[in-house]
A and B are shown apart, each in its own frame.
Chain A
Amino acid sequence: MADLLSTAVSALSAFQRGLDTTGHNIANAATEGYSRQRVEYATREAQPYGNGWLGSGVNATTVVRTYDQFLALQYRNSSSALGRQDVYAAYAERVSSVFASTDTGISAALQRFANAVQDVATAPTSIPARQALLAEANALAGEIGSQSQRLDQLAVEARGRLEAAAADVSGLARDIAGLNERIVTATARTGQPPNDLLDQRDRLIDQLSSRVAVSTVRQDDGAVNVFIGNGQALVLGGNAATLATRPDEYDAAALRLGIQSPSGFVDITAGLTGGEIGGLLDFQGQVLDPTRRALGQLAVGITTIVNDQQHAGMTLVGAAGADLFAVGDVQVLPSSRNVGSASVAVARADITALTTFDYVLESGGSGWILRRADTGAAVALTGSGTAADPFRADGLEIVVSGAAGAGDRFLVRPTMAAAADMQVVLSDPAGFAAALPVSASAAAGNSGSASIASLSVTDAADPQLRTTATITFTSAGTYSIDGGPDVAYTAGMAIEYRGWRLELAGTPSAGDTFTVAANDAGVGDNRNALALVDAFAAPTMNGATTSLADLVDRVVAEVGVQTRQAQVTRDALEVVQADSRAAVDSVSGVNLDEEAANLVRLQQAYQAAAQVVQVADTLFQTLIAAVRR
């Protein structure tokens, strides 16, 4: 027989659970990652009586959390993508801000240096103009050096952050493994879901996926296995692996990430995507390192062009020009796994062919192989690798010595370290070579119409460059130098000898002589300075397609475009993440108004059930009174 009192008590107890749960929801309205819970009610088993089944009350069967695993997965993925993009864009913005000013940046410094060269060209004997030139050279080198240093600092910072993020990942993995154990135990003990533990674990996995992209597999016992990279296990049930860092095989300052297992370190850097770690790795590989290398290429270009022109010229005191700039050498980093004793020396030979790539030189079975470090594509080598006949590729000269073990590798970075070490090595203002080391003159008695059109230096290293040479026209169509054999002459033809090149205008007559001699007195000469101005503006870089100024523009444009794209993508991902967050919230989040309504509803039901108890009591009293009479 149905028992009204028992029915009412079941309701009271059930609604008490309901009120408890509503209270719990209200209490956790602001708890991050909390999924609202609700009590599931079921009628108690009905009692049969003669003509039917009589209900016997309600049971609170379980407390479940409102959770949609698909929405949660979507949210997790969007967090991972945003986590990557957030870090990537933030760092790209900082690189961008290094190049922010169009008035004080490298571009302006480069132009001011070129202007200062022209100021010397207008007044080659002016020491103040030459001092200003050295000051501008210092400013240019300083600008490139300091921007390079800011990029280096960013690299150090990104590395530190990568280390911290890897430690975070390991810590989160341990926490998730701990929760897995507790969840498995709790589920096994009660057969009911431990909602708050599940929420906590989901929240930790969310946090983990904002560090690095993960995939999860749910187990029957309630545990969740977490994998990162290309499927490397980070959490298996109650066991967590460690995401460890170790120095790069070539560059001890660079980090590799991997799973540290008892059997050793498994490098998974290449497989890590998404999250803060993915963002940092992408930033290093796609923005920071290319920018550092491009800056290095610029520094090498400026230094080589200026120094080469210096060597071709003559200083104010009549000496051959010396280097004005110095720049960092090619970095050659042997792999820590090399077994042989080979050493590799690399020099930059041709700035026109110089690229902004890094290379790996590997000792293969049939000799040395050069590959691009980023794509692995083979680069053709000519030469034999000896000092007399070095390997040549992409503007580099590679000399190999010693015995290499099979598979020994060297990382070759032609431009990476160049910019940071850029400096001015010329301190004497008179040392700027504005003049040509030679000058040409026509003899006073020349009767032909030939005059000197131009004189330039083709080989500044020729030891006899400044030795006086006399060109005598033995006829209008032949000449001899210093009494040597006759050489045929046609109008407009250049005469080249001992490292110089002379062009005449007009027609010489027989007996006309021209002299090329050391330009010792030519302090007012600005021909070499003008040649430097020309060389600066000429397309000399990237296969003679790009001038130095274009190179600066290119660096800024590339950084700007990458940052812009990163920002746009970040903004889009923010929307996606906010939407997926809202979707999760609309299912799992606590709405206080709803809880208030539930509170009222449950309170009323509780009051009604209490009323039923009173009715049952009244019925009982009525019955007692009837019997007592």
Chain B
Amino acid sequence: MSTRISTAGMHAAALAALLDAQSNLARTQLQIARGTRLTSPADDPVAATRVQSLTRQIEAASQYARNSDAASNRLMAEEQALADLGSALDRVRELVLQANNATIDDDSRAMIRTEVAGRVQEMLDIANRRDAQGEYLFAGLATATRPFERSAAGVTYRGDQGQRQQAVSATQRVADGDSGYAVFQQAPGGNGTFVTRPDAGNAGTGVIGAGSVVDPTAWTGGSYTIRFVAVDAWEVVDDTAAVPTVVAAGAYASGNAISFAGISIEVSGAPAAGDSFTLAAAAPVEMFAALDDLVEALGISTGTPAGRAQLNSRLGGSLAQVDQLLGHLQQLRAGVGVRLATVDGAVASQEAATLELESLRSSLRDLDYAEAISRLNQQYVTLQAAQQSLARVGQLSLFDYL
């Protein structure tokens, strides 16, 4: 027995099928118009959530790229400042060498002194340089405070010791600068280990060199005075001991090294009896104080042999100090370079990750047009067939034949 079908039911069923075909077609059409497979989270909840999270990750990556830009801009500004400081200091070094020449008279040295002072002022200006944001480069976190101020007492640092970090990826943070404290206030002093200096009241022509470390294990720091008990005899007094004690003594000949506590210092010329030289463990020095000291030394008159010896000693020490400062700046530049490389590396890996994320998101969200258009065609044909068959079948009626 065949199934009985009611006329109204047949029409209703055919109509339902037709409407179904129509809504499928409309959905495909919407997908094509929007170019996306997902028109609502319900279309594919897992993909929708994933797309949402991928979009956030892509946005986050572009933020890291912006952070990296900001960090590398600031680092490049710092590197430029350090390079400028280095070339100014190089010129200062040349001038010191020039000034230390015996043929230079006081007038010429006065001119050299003027130029050195100019260079120091230039370096001070560099130290107060601002970045593109208008923030001081070397003020630590107090970026709105002009970090270096010259007063009668010299140059003082008014920034802080903070260092700002920038997030260049989810896990990496890179300092976008160095504080003025680290750059200018904590430079290694003297020859890096100790500082020598002639006593201002020396009457002889003894000149002390910058000295060097012979046996690092024997050097334990502290401060000493090298005293000439006679024109040909010296002794070294340990000033840090509660009762100053002589730790070494010897006969003097110009150009011979004086050695004690693992270090060796050359004294040349003819020191007078009673002349003394101080020697102290190098504490971190303030760059501008050291340079001001140099400028002051350049003002020493060479009218007397003692004055010239004083000058030579001071300039020798300053030269060693300038070399230390140059090395210090080199080290800072190397550090900045490493950070710039870190930032570049982070940017490159972010870019690669972003590409990957975008292609993943695209595969989840974007429509496969070839598939969608062939589906559209198929649904179009289905709808057409449903319409035509409904029209044709609807015409069939036995009443037509009565």
Chain A residues within CB distance 8 Å of chain B: 29-30, 36, 92-93, 96-97, 99-100, 102-103, 105, 107-108, 110-112, 114-115, 118-119, 121-126, 435, 439-442, 444-445, 447, 452, 519, 521-527, 530, 533, 537, 549, 552-553, 556-557, 559-561, 563-564, 567, 578, 581-582, 585-594, 596-597, 599-600
Known interface pairs A108-B55, A108-B59, A585-B9; 13 further A-B residue pairs with C-beta atoms within 8 A, sorted by A's residue number: A122-B66, A122-B71, A439-B160, A523-B141, A524-B141, A524-B143, A525-B162, A549-B56, A589-B7, A589-B8, A594-B4, A596-B397, A599-B402
Contact of B399 among A102, A435, A447, A592 (CB under 8 A): A592
- Chain A's closest residue to B221 (CB) is A447
- Report chain A residues within 8 Å CB of B134: 125
In angstroms, how far is the closest chain B Cβ from the Cβ of A90?
A: 12
Once A560-B49, A585-B6, A589-B7 are accepted as A-B contacts, the answer to whether A102 and B55 lie under 8 Å apart by CB is yes
In angstroms, how far is the closest chain B Cβ from the Cβ of A193?
A: 21
Once A597-B398, A600-B402 are accepted as A-B contacts, the answer to whether A553 and B162 lie under 8 Å apart by CB is no
Structural contact, B160 and A441, CB atoms closer than 8 A:
yes
Say if the beta carbon of B85 comes within 8 Å of chain A: no
Contact of B6 among A435, A445, A591 (CB under 8 A): A591
Structural contact, A102 and B48, CB atoms closer than 8 A:
yes
- Chain A's closest residue to B173 (CB) is A530
Say if the beta carbon of B135 comes within 8 Å of chain A: yes
What's the dominant secondary structure at chain A's contact region?
helix
- Chain A's closest residue to B284 (CB) is A444
Structural contact, A530 and B167, CB atoms closer than 8 A:
yes
- Report chain A residues within 8 Å CB of B181: 441
- Report chain B residues within 8 Å CB of A447: 283
Once A102-B52, A525-B164 are accepted as A-B contacts, the answer to whether A125 and B45 lie under 8 Å apart by CB is no
Say if the beta carbon of B127 comes within 8 Å of chain A: no
Structural contact, B56 and A596, CB atoms closer than 8 A:
no
Contact of A586 among B4, B185, B402 (CB under 8 A): B4
Structural contact, A523 and B143, CB atoms closer than 8 A:
yes
Mask: chain B, 124-154; 1 = CB below 8 Å from A; 0 = not: 0000000001110001111111000000000
Structural contact, B9 and A581, CB atoms closer than 8 A:
yes
Once A96-B41, A102-B365, A125-B134 are accepted as A-B contacts, the answer to whether A524 and B49 lie under 8 Å apart by CB is no
- Report chain B residues within 8 Å CB of A96: 40-42
- Report chain A residues within 8 Å CB of B372: none
Q: How far is the CA of A561 from the CA of B167 in the complex (A)?
A: 36
In angstroms, how far is the closest chain B Cβ from the Cβ of A115?
A: 4
24 contacts between A and B (CB under 8 A): A96-B42, A100-B40, A105-B52, A107-B56, A108-B59, A110-B56, A118-B67, A121-B67, A122-B71, A123-B133, A439-B141, A441-B160, A441-B181, A445-B283, A522-B160, A523-B144, A557-B41, A557-B49, A564-B42, A564-B43, A581-B9, A588-B6, A589-B9, A596-B397
Q: How far is the CA of A534 from the CA of B250 in the complex (A)?
A: 65
In angstroms, how far is the closest chain B Cβ from the Cβ of A610?
A: 19
In angstroms, how far is the closest chain B Cβ from the Cβ of A120?
A: 11
Structural contact, B55 and A125, CB atoms closer than 8 A:
no
- Chain A's closest residue to B60 (CB) is A111
In angstroms, how far is the closest chain B Cβ from the Cβ of A437?
A: 12
Q: How far is the CA of A592 from the CA of B181 in the complex (A)?
A: 101
- Report chain B residues within 8 Å CB of A553: 49, 52-53
In angstroms, how far is the closest chain A Cβ from the Cβ of B173?
A: 7
Q: How far is the CA of A537 from the CA of B59 in the complex (A)?
A: 14
Mask: chain B, 2-17; 1 = CB below 8 Å from A; 0 = not: 0111111100110010
- Chain B's closest residue to A514 (CB) is B161
In angstroms, how far is the closest chain B Cβ from the Cβ of A242?
A: 34
Contact of B59 among A112, A121, A123 (CB under 8 A): A112
Q: How far is the CA of A96 from the CA of B38 in the complex (A)?
A: 12
Structural contact, A537 and B170, CB atoms closer than 8 A:
yes
Contact of B143 among A125, A440, A530 (CB under 8 A): A125
Q: How far is the CA of A441 from the CA of B140 in the complex (A)?
A: 11
In angstroms, how far is the closest chain A Cβ from the Cβ of B36?
A: 9
Once A121-B67, A530-B165 are accepted as A-B contacts, the answer to whether A592 and B133 lie under 8 Å apart by CB is no
Once A92-B42, A581-B9 are accepted as A-B contacts, the answer to whether A103 and B398 lie under 8 Å apart by CB is no
Structural contact, A559 and B41, CB atoms closer than 8 A:
yes
Once A99-B41, A439-B162 are accepted as A-B contacts, the answer to whether A585 and B8 lie under 8 Å apart by CB is yes
- Report chain A residues within 8 Å CB of B143: 124-125, 523-524
Structural contact, B4 and A122, CB atoms closer than 8 A:
no
Say if the beta carbon of B31 comes within 8 Å of chain A: no
- Report chain A residues within 8 Å CB of B399: 592, 596
Q: How far is the CA of A460 from the CA of B374 in the complex (A)?
A: 63
Structural contact, B4 and A591, CB atoms closer than 8 A:
yes
Contact of A526 among B13, B140, B164, B397 (CB under 8 A): B164
- Chain B's closest residue to A119 (CB) is B66
Say if the beta carbon of B280 comes within 8 Å of chain A: no
Once A111-B55, A115-B59, A582-B13 are accepted as A-B contacts, the answer to whether A557 and B4 lie under 8 Å apart by CB is no
Once A530-B165, A560-B42 are accepted as A-B contacts, the answer to whether A585 and B59 lie under 8 Å apart by CB is no
Once A582-B13, A590-B7 are accepted as A-B contacts, the answer to whether A100 and B52 lie under 8 Å apart by CB is no
Q: How far is the CA of A343 from the CA of B41 in the complex (A)?
A: 42
B363-402, CB < 8 A from A: 365, 397-399, 402
Once A102-B48, A118-B67, A521-B144 are accepted as A-B contacts, the answer to whether A111 and B59 lie under 8 Å apart by CB is yes
Say if the beta carbon of B240 comes within 8 Å of chain A: no
What 4 A-B pairs are tightest by C-beta distance, nearest first? A589-B6, A524-B143, A560-B45, A560-B41
Q: How far is the CA of A100 from the CA of B402 in the complex (A)?
A: 58
B32-80, CB < 8 A from A: 38-46, 48-49, 51-53, 55-56, 59-60, 62-63, 66-67, 70-71
- Chain B's closest residue to A582 (CB) is B9
Structural contact, A557 and B46, CB atoms closer than 8 A:
yes
Structural contact, A578 and B67, CB atoms closer than 8 A:
no
In angstroms, how far is the closest chain B Cβ from the Cβ of A188?
A: 32
Contact of B70 among A123, A563, A567, A594 (CB under 8 A): A123
Q: How far is the CA of A92 from the CA of B4 in the complex (A)?
A: 38
- Report chain A residues within 8 Å CB of B398: 592-593, 596-597
Contact of B161 among A441, A556, A582 (CB under 8 A): A441
- Chain A's closest residue to B165 (CB) is A530
Once A445-B283, A530-B165 are accepted as A-B contacts, the answer to whether A586 and B45 lie under 8 Å apart by CB is no
In angstroms, how far is the closest chain A Cβ from the Cβ of B298?
A: 26
- Report chain B residues within 8 Å CB of A107: 52-53, 55-56
Q: How far is the CA of A599 from the CA of B180 in the complex (A)?
A: 109
Say if the beta carbon of B166 comes within 8 Å of chain A: yes
Structural contact, B397 and A522, CB atoms closer than 8 A:
no
- Report chain B residues within 8 Å CB of A589: 4-9
Structural contact, B42 and A30, CB atoms closer than 8 A:
no
- Report chain A residues within 8 Å CB of B38: 102
- Report chain A residues within 8 Å CB of B8: 29-30, 585, 589-590
Q: How far is the CA of A519 from the CA of B161 in the complex (A)?
A: 11
Contact of B402 among A578, A588, A596 (CB under 8 A): A596
Q: How far is the CA of A346 from the CA of B283 in the complex (A)?
A: 60
- Chain A's closest residue to B62 (CB) is A115
Q: How far is the CA of A29 from the CA of B399 in the complex (A)?
A: 14
- Report chain B residues within 8 Å CB of A567: 42
- Report chain A residues within 8 Å CB of B402: 596, 599-600
In angstroms, how far is the closest chain B Cβ from the Cβ of A342?
A: 43
